[in-house]
Structures are given as C-alpha cells and as structure tokens.
Structure 1
Amino acid sequence: MSTTDDLLTPAGRQEGPVRVALPRTWWQRHGSTTTVWSLRLALLVLLLGFWQLAADRWIDITFISKPSDIAERLGEWAADGTLWLHTWITVQEIVYGFALGAVTGALAGFVLASLSLVYRVLDPFVMALYSIPKVALAPLFIVWFGIEMHMKVLLAAATVFFLVFLNTAAGVRDVDRGLVDAVRLMGGNRWHIARKVVLPASMTGVLTGLKVAIPYALIGAVIGELVASNRGLGYLINDAAAQFDTAGVFATLVVLSVIAAVLNVVVGLLGKRVNRWKPIDE
C-alpha cells in the first residue's frame, strides 16, 4: 500500500484510496473471538460435567470411564514419565511423517498437474493407490521396513502424501487461465507463469491438503504402533485395552487430540503467512 507522501500530488492534493483508522474499544476488536472461545469452553465444561454425572449411574463405567479417572491416569503417567516417553516417540513419528508426506505430495502435485498429459495418464493409477486402505499397508510396511520408527514415519507419510497431492493438483488445475494468458502476453515464460501465477494460486489447495492430512498423519503413526510396537501412544492404547483400563485408553486419546490441535494451529499460522498476498475481504 502506498504511503501518504506517495499519494500527494505536486499541488498537495491527495489522490487514491485513503484508509482512516477508526478508534475501537477492546470489545469491538476482540469481542467476537472472545464470545466464540467462551462458548467453546462452556460447551466443553457442560459435556465433561454430564459425562462425570452419567458415568457409573446410567452407563457402566467399564465402557466409558469418567473425566476424573482420566485426569488421574494422566497425572500418574506424567509423574512416572510414561506419558512423556511415549508421547515424544509418537510426536516424532507424526511430525516426520507429516513433513515427508506433505513436501513430497505438494511437489508431486505441483509438477504433475502442470504437465497435463502426464497427469491424465497417471491419474487413475494415483486414485487406485489412494483407494487402498492404509491399515492394509501396515503388514507390508513391516515386511519391508521392520518395526522401528521409520516404518511408522513412512506409513504416516504415505497416508499424508495422497491427500496433499490431490488437493495441490486440484489447486494447480483450477488456476485462472486468464492470468496465465496475461503473463504470456507480457512475454513471460513457463518459469514466470509457475512462480508468479500457479504457485501462489495453488497455495489454497496445498493448505487445504495440509489441514485435511493432519488427523491422517496421526492415524498412520498410531496404526503402525498398534500393529507392531512396544513404544508410543499406540502401544499405550493396546496395553491399556488389554488390561481393560478404559481410563488409560481415553487418556491416550486426549493426548492425541492435543497433538492434532497443536498441528492445526501451526498449519493455520502457516496459512496466514503464505496468504498475505491475497486482498483483504472488506
């Protein structure tokens, strides 16, 4: 945006749009966000209160546990180090798998979707691979890569890859052809079109793929731990279920939910940064 000095003509007359900051109270600036978060907190407290009340009164506690027992189990695991050990292992698998799948998916989607003929040839094969349940891949990945951490990382990456690839490819193929033609008329080559038009316009698809892929990164890592592992949150779920420890199972699910929420926040911040070029909605 131009500064005030740039908008002044030699005669001192101001031209172009001028933004005037209107004084607003704290509530006018943050009231909507505060209301939303207050309602979210109230809903969470209401649900937890009802759960605590219903447990062992109307529903057998063996099946649903109760919030106080889940909090107690989390406290026990945090005190003896069990929570931190297994959470750190799963977080590494999720982050590495998510990063690997996201980077390769975005690059493949951008390159292949830019090559129309190649994309049309490979599209049915990609969809066939995408349609394979990732749970069915776990035994095969164990045979190929063993039961160490890299097996869970690759399984999570394979799950994330297709979601990011398909959304990125859709974003590239939906680029306004008028913008592409305009750059060509101004003498731009394929590199200019890719960097100045296709890449920025496809970021919406990339970010959508990243947001959708977050829970699937967790699923891929936890499935690998459930199938073959003696460490990680998936192992904790297996161990707690084998002992009919419902509170332990729910406690692990709470930790996984927190990890997913943190990843969502990170992707949201990334989205705000890469979308700064877009015009502000009035």
Structure 2
Amino acid sequence: MTTGPLRIASTTTWWQRNHRWVTVWGLRAGVLITALIAWQLLSGPVLDPLFVSSPGGILDRLGEWITDGTLAEHAWTTIKEIVLGFAVGALAGALLAYLVAPIRTIWQVLDPFLMALYSIPKVALAPLFIVWFGIGVQMKVLLAAVSVFFLVFLNTAAGVRDVDRGLIDAVRLMGGTRRDIALKVTLPASMTGLLTGLHVAIPYALIGAVIGELVASNRGLGYLISDASARFDTDGVFATLVVLSAFAALLNLLVNLLGARANRWKPLDD
C-alpha cells in the first residue's frame, strides 16, 4: 500500500495573514486623527488661526474651491506638469544611466560634470527657463523633469554599477549576448536603485512644477499658494498643500505597486 505525500491544510485566518497591515494602517489613522483633533482644539484658544489655520477652515476652503471649480482648474494644470515632468525626467535619467554606467571610461569622464549640474539649485534655473521657454506649461514641465532626472539617474547608475560582475561573467560564459546581459542581469539587479530614484524624485517633481508656478504663472496650485499668501489666506495655503500632499501620496502608491511587480523575482524576507 503506497501513500502520497502528507499535505497539511493551511489553517491561518484572515487576521493572522493581515494583522501587521491592519495594525500599521490603524496606527497611521490614529496618529493623523489625533493630530487633526489637537490642531482643531488648539486653533483659536491657543494658536492664532490667522497664522496656523485649522482643519475646519481648510475643509471650508476646499469645499468652496470644489463648488466653484477653482480647485479642478488649477489642480489639473499642476497635475499635468507634475506627471509629464516626472515621466520625462525619470525616463531620460533611467535610459542615460543604463547607457553610461556600465562603461567605466565614459562614466569616469561624465561623472564630475553631472555632479556639478546636479549641485545647481533647481530654483535658480527658473528664471533661465522662463527666458528659454516662456511662462507656459512647457517651462514647468521641464523644471520638474530636470529635478527628477538627476535623482533617477544617480540612483539607477549606482544600482547598475553595483551589479555582481560574477553574474555578468557567468552569462558571457554561457554564450549570452550584450542584450541578454542587459535584460536578464543588469536590469533586474539594478531595479532597486531605479525604484529608489523614483521614490526620492516624487516630491522633487512637485517642487519643480510648483516653483515654476510660484515664479511666473496665473494658473496651477503654485499660483493658488502665491495668491492666497498675498491675501493672508492661510486656509487657502494649507488647503493647497493638502491637495499637493494627497497627489504625492498617490504617486508614491503607484511607484510602490510598480516596485511590487518589478521585485517579484526577489526572495521573500524572513
């Protein structure tokens, strides 16, 4: 009489599988709610609402902007600038890193020049970009793209240069071509550096677009911040910052989902 392999049925419950996720999100919600309640209670009796606003005032301002269409008009302008700038900067930075970083001589030649350009404060480029491209959407997109480009390039290049040379030599010994090495070794092994660059670049895409709008624009969330601050409307300033923070969180979530799919080949942590 033969018997098959003994199979042990899984008895883990939904809570056992998801308790860490639920706990983390529960604590996050608790911290946020506690901070908002404290802010609302202190605004007025302790803190001057003229300077610190309040959650209630911010909600009122958002409600006004949603009702009259102000938020949709200006948010859509900034979202286009951020998304286009992030996409252009990330794509250019990643492609250049994969082309330059594997070739040691070219990397050594270009490295000091790229670091010098990276060190330039991006806000200092805004006046020059206005001269070159005007005050339209193109200027904000390119300013956001430049802010993103160097972060993605440097992090991706670091990942490419840290690829195990033993893996590359092994693929070559098995008759692998340059294309095989690039797609089956370099790309997967450097994915962590690329994703790190994308994560770090998200706020800089927002910063680049908003700086361009603050310097010269009559549309966008940066313009709303400038206009509200000129009128001492702290509710409007904080409301705009909330919208920008929400969009940054959404971009970060999308990058996390991309990272989860790109890193499926990695072993799970114990």
**TM bracket, shorter-chain basis:** over 0.9
| Worse overlay, 27-36 or 129-138 | 27-36
5 Å-filtered alignment, 1:52-91, equals 52-91=40-79
Structure 2 counterpart of 1:194, which letter? Answer: A
SS state of the match for residue 180, structure 1? helix
| Worse overlay, 137-146 or 179-188 | 179-188
User: CA, structure 1 residues 21+214, in 2 after alignment: closer, same or farther (shift >3 Å)?
Assistant: farther
* Cα distance between partner residues in 1 of 2:185 and 2:217: 46
% identical aligned pairs: 67
User: CA, structure 1 residues 21+181, in 2 after alignment: closer, same or farther (shift >3 Å)?
Assistant: farther
User: CA, structure 1 residues 179+68, in 2 after alignment: closer, same or farther (shift >3 Å)?
Assistant: same
Shift, 1:13, TM fit: 7.5
5 Å-filtered alignment, 1:170-249, equals 170-249=158-237
Q: Gaps (5+ residues) in structure 2?
A: none
5 Å-filtered alignment, 1:145-160, equals 145-160=133-148
User: CA, structure 1 residues 108+138, in 2 after alignment: closer, same or farther (shift >3 Å)?
Assistant: same
Shift, 1:280, TM fit: 2.4
Shift, 1:248, TM fit: 0.2
* Runs of 4+ deviating beyond 6 Å: 11-14
1:45 aligns to what? 33
Aligned-residue CA RMSD (Å): 1.6
SS state of the match for residue 238, structure 1? helix
With normalisation by structure 1, the TM-score equals 0.92
* Cα distance between partner residues in 2 of 1:245 and 1:217: 25
* Cα distance between partner residues in 1 of 2:10 and 2:146: 50
5 Å-filtered alignment, 1:106-125, equals 106-125=94-113
* Cα distance between partner residues in 1 of 2:44 and 2:261: 48
* Cα distance between partner residues in 1 of 2:62 and 2:210: 19
Which of 123, 131, 142 in structure 1 is aligned with 2:119?
A: 131
SS state of the match for residue 232, structure 2? coil
User: CA, structure 1 residues 132+72, in 2 after alignment: closer, same or farther (shift >3 Å)?
Assistant: same
Alignment: residue pair count: 269
Shift, 1:228, TM fit: 0.3
* Cα distance between partner residues in 2 of 1:99 and 1:79: 31
* Cα distance between partner residues in 1 of 2:82 and 2:215: 16
Shift, 1:281, TM fit: 2.7
Deviation per residue, 1:218-245 (Å, 9 max, x gap): 0000000000000000000000000000
| Worse overlay, 42-51 or 189-198 | 189-198
1:35 aligns to what? 23
Q: Gaps (5+ residues) in structure 1?
A: 1-10
| Worse overlay, 107-116 or 56-65 | 56-65
User: CA, structure 1 residues 20+110, in 2 after alignment: closer, same or farther (shift >3 Å)?
Assistant: farther
Shift, 1:191, TM fit: 2.0
| Worse overlay, 232-241 or 185-194 | 185-194
Shift, 1:277, TM fit: 1.6
SS state of the match for residue 114, structure 1? coil
SS state of the match for residue 141, structure 1? helix
Deviation per residue, 1:181-236 (Å, 9 max, x gap): 11122122322211111111011110000000000000000000000000000000
